[in-house]
Amino acid sequence: MKSISITGLVLLAVSVLLFYLTTDFTAEKITLSHMMGVMAGIGIGLIIGGMTGYISKGSAIKAEEKRREFKRLQQEKEELEKKAAEIVKKQAEIERENKQENPQIGLPPKS
């Protein structure tokens, strides 16, 4: 929105300068060409404003999509970490149970 406002102010300043240079701010010297210039300035301002708005909206939508994708990937990562922790825990329990049932399995052979 800042860029649209700055563009509008610059166009307004240019139009005031051109009007001052051509008419000395007297209403009697305003002609049809001045009205056409005002309408052309409005048209150019609308075109530039529309393009700027379209571009900024598109980049905002892309940024929002990236944020959503990043959030989804973070959630998936957390779920995978939880599953990995559960698997490690289960393996440790199974090994503990195996050692309790067969204490000779983990011992080195007698010589």
Q: What is the pLDDT of residue 84?
A: 94
DSSP state of 107: S
pTM assigned to the model:
0.48
- Count Cβ atoms within 10 A of the Cβ of residue 59 and give its class: 0-12 exposed, 13-18 middle, 19 or more buried: exposed
Please state the φ and ψ torsions of residue 110, each to the nearest 5 degrees.
-80, 140
Tokens 């049932």: give the residue: 101
Question: pLDDT value at position 59?
Answer: 86
Q: Kindly tell me if the per-residue pLDDT of 105 is higher than 60.
A: no
| Residue 89 scores a pLDDT above 80 | yes
Q: Which residue intervals of the chain are DSSP H helices? A: 2-23, 32-101
Region 73-81: mean pLDDT is 95
Residues 49-63: tens digit of each pLDDT: 788 888 888 888 999
The pLDDT score that the predictor gives to residue 110 is 61
How far from 75 is each of 36, 63, 71, 81, 82, CA to CA, in Å? 58, 19, 6, 10, 11
With b for 16 or more beta-carbon neighbours within 10 A and e for fewer, the 2-36 pattern comes to: eebeeeeeebeeebeeebeeeeeeeeeeeeeeeee
Place of tokens 């939508």: 61
pLDDT tens sequence across 5-61: 777 777 777 777 777 777 766 667 777 777 777 778 777 877 887 888 888 888 889
